Structure 1
Amino acid sequence: MHLAFVLGTRPEIIKLSSLICACIERGIRYTLIHTNQHYAANMDRLFFKELELPLAHFNLRVGSDVAQVQVKRMVMGIEPILQAMKPDYVIVQGDTNSSLAGGLAARKANIPIAHVEAGLRSFDKTMPEETNRIALDHMSNFWFCPSALQVELLASEGIEGRNVHITGNTGNDATLRYAQAAQANTDILERLGLRAERYLLLTCHRPSNTDDIAHFTTLIEAVQRLAAARSRPVIFPVHPRLGLKHWQIIERSSLIKTTDPLGYIDMLALVQGADLVMTDSGGLQEEACVLQRRCLVLRDNTERPESLDCGGSRLAPVETETSLIEAADELLHSRVTWSNPFGDGQAGQRILQVLLNDFGTGKP
């Protein structure tokens, strides 16, 4: 059996790492195609090193561009590789432009598509990710769902049958594997002058929070006011897509300490030490839940409602400069029953076994 992985972003590297490692451990042939959608070294090469992964066989170096151009360039780069390598399955993860391009190229090459983290829905079609994940689910041949909820959502769209599987989330595989090592093997708190439980952690990159500069200004002011109310500094690893205007707004906030994008191990350690996590990232929502950190989700919807069910996370769209103070107070006093709804850390092994079994039948 020969698998082709298409990835291009930090979350995909993390969330496919356990499946790639499973291939290596079991001697399964694979080809790794990297679109380089995330082109900053500290959002790319560092993750391969920390997650103990060999570098990609092919790097398309697509970089940043508007979505339509980016996807077109990716498909044009991926399709001839698939035609030449002739893998038995193409593996894509999540909802990025890279995963969509991988699915489109595989469909054109008539190769079965396996969608990891299938069935997620925010029900917000203004999100580019929602469009990507729906399109991918409706062109895929195998669907690997984190939980039973996604199986139900797929069935409501007419996608069901023997190739829909509940596997747990591969992102959770990485969290469980590296959480303890992250605390032991990084000095990130010392480097940033932090004490555990005495800082807030912020990430923010989605267009809904960053494209409208007026809204971004309100969000940063809300973070600043929360930090003042809690007497805590805020650590903000700034995503490369934020520009000069964003930086000018951030720099006016005395309690927000910015960093360059951080490696996976450093971020895991920061999450574990944070008094509160604020994020619009789906993956970080999961990590906060698994690592039992209270989390404000800076959105009015989420494709990961499981992270809300234990009470440790809550939706907190920023509408006014005091929104986060109110949301944090409610979260602080809410009853939390910590649980891990994202699996036991063996999702990658389960996915690989499903594909091995299918390959053995000769019926993709």
Structure 2
Amino acid sequence: MTELAFVIGTVSEAVRLAPVIRACERYEVDHAVIDTGERRFGGVERPLFDQFDLPAPDITLDVGTGSHGEQTGMMLAEIERALVEVDPDTAVVHGDANSTLAGAIAASKMRPEVARVGAGLRSFDRRTSAETNRVVPDHVADYLFAPTEKNRWYLIREGITELRITVTGSTAVDALDRVREAGSDEGAVLDDLGLAEDGFLLMDVHGRTNVDDPDRFRSLLEGAARAGHAHGMEVVYPVQPRAREQMERFGVDVPAGVRAIDPQEYAEFVQLLGASAVVLTDSGDVQEEACILGVPCVTLRNNTERPETTEIGANRLGQCSPDGINRAVTESLAAGADWESPYGDGDAAERILDGLPVSVERGEVVR
């Protein structure tokens, strides 16, 4: 019988569950990985698993794209079949994608218990599918691993008993530590692109709210270009496939001063992020990673599920007009990066494994 089954469907989920999967490998915990294939784009494939020194997923479902209902419904049926095959004691999910929701619901209706890594993140914008995908898995989970005390408080406020919640820190810290330690070609991306550390702005925009609205998309690009020009810095924009498709569909031109490049593998993107002067993003994951790496962040959204980053001055929120983006970049550069990350010390995976009902043969856990 398998002790743990990890359900993943996006690069973000793979990155943040990889440290826990690696801990299972180290301590010989019987486990399986189910890849739903929710967002492929060359994503949760061999290169990413290689970066974490992990074998390929045990089961690949490859559900592909579709409407939220169509994709989630298909995943429910396929994940259920995969869980029957794997027969785990506990199913582990992370994130706010449809795979997270489908994995949690499928397991909760079967025998496995549900473990929720990254529990308690809230933007409080219930109009978004991502918020639904955060809230529902938390309420069906048996084990909730919250990155911060604020996340724990949100869960308790929603009526979840403290006995099910453990504050662990974020596995993003573990993942970043692993990538940086393993990065023998550190700096290669900067050399290839002719970039100097702290000499450029990094742009990461791919959310539907931004790229599906051509006027908003143009405004964000113009704001990034204006900020780069004001501070004598080039803006580097790794464009995800869907954002590229929308650019072509709407005829959105990339302004002078913004260099659109191909999407980067996770390790290469981390190098770019760590070396940038400021990152402009609509990704909650990147907000968190920037905070951990000590890089000021400007969030191109009106809300965030990482409020800790704004509270400590690592992140400026809701800057979506060209003038607002330029002003936020100026403020970020002036303020610098004098904060302490709230996301832990890089031992989240160990704490999560400690909190799960698994058989582990090992010595003392390093905290």
243-252 or 295-304, which moves further after superposition?
243-252
Contact 1:312 1:336 in 2 (8 A): yes
Unaligned runs of 5+ in 2: 361-367
Equivalent residues, number: 359
Distance 1:147 1:336, change over 3 A: same
Please report how far the alpha carbon of residue 342 of structure 1 lies from its aligned counterpart in structure 2 after TM superposition. 0.5
3-state SS in 2 of match to 1:92: strand
Contact 1:42 1:262 in 2 (8 A): no
20-29 or 304-313, which moves further after superposition?
304-313
Other-structure match for 2:286: 284
Aligned mates of 2:87, 2:157 — CA distance in 1:
33
Please report how far the alpha carbon of residue 171 of structure 1 lies from its aligned counterpart in structure 2 after TM superposition. 1.3
Aligned mates of 1:68, 1:106 — CA distance in 2:
18
Aligned mates of 1:186, 1:29 — CA distance in 2:
37
Other-structure match for 2:308: 306
Over the matched positions of the two proteins, sequence identity in percent amounts to: 35
Aligned mates of 2:187, 2:60 — CA distance in 1:
29
Contact 2:51 2:179 in 1 (8 A): no
Distance 1:200 1:87, change over 3 A: same
Please report how far the alpha carbon of residue 162 of structure 1 lies from its aligned counterpart in structure 2 after TM superposition. 1.6
The amino acid across from 2:308 in the alignment is E
Task: Verify: 1:64 aligned to 2:65, yes or no.
Answer: yes
320-329 or 6-15, which moves further after superposition?
320-329
3-state SS in 2 of match to 1:242: helix
Please report how far the alpha carbon of residue 29 of structure 1 lies from its aligned counterpart in structure 2 after TM superposition. 0.6
Contact 1:200 1:275 in 2 (8 A): yes
The amino acid across from 2:303 in the alignment is N
Other-structure match for 1:343: 344
Please report how far the alpha carbon of residue 310 of structure 1 lies from its aligned counterpart in structure 2 after TM superposition. 2.5
3-state SS in 2 of match to 1:38: coil
Kindly provide the CA deviation profile for residues 220-239 of structure 1, in whole angstroms up to 9, marking residues without a partner as x. 11111112112211111111
Please report how far the alpha carbon of residue 43 of structure 1 lies from its aligned counterpart in structure 2 after TM superposition. 5.5
Aligned mates of 1:249, 1:278 — CA distance in 2:
22
3-state SS in 1 of match to 2:111: coil
Please report how far the alpha carbon of residue 90 of structure 1 lies from its aligned counterpart in structure 2 after TM superposition. 0.3
Q: Return the TM-score normalized by structure 2.
A: 0.92
**Alpha-carbon RMSD:** 2.0
The amino acid across from 1:301 in the alignment is N
293-302 or 171-180, which moves further after superposition?
171-180
Aligned mates of 1:276, 1:35 — CA distance in 2:
33
Kindly provide the CA deviation profile for residues 161-217 of structure 1, in whole angstroms up to 9, marking residues without a partner as x. 322110111111111232354475351011112111111101011122122111111
39-48 or 211-220, which moves further after superposition?
39-48
Other-structure match for 1:228: 229
Other-structure match for 1:239: 240
The amino acid across from 1:120 in the alignment is L
3-state SS in 1 of match to 2:202: strand
Other-structure match for 1:273: 275
331-340 or 79-88, which moves further after superposition?
331-340
Contact 1:93 1:99 in 2 (8 A): yes
Distance 1:291 1:356, change over 3 A: same
3-state SS in 1 of match to 2:122: coil
Query: 1:173-192 counterparts in 2 under 5 A?
Result: 173-182=174-183, 184-192=185-193
Contact 2:123 2:131 in 1 (8 A): yes
The amino acid across from 1:145 in the alignment is A
137-146 or 175-184, which moves further after superposition?
175-184
Distance 1:250 1:211, change over 3 A: closer
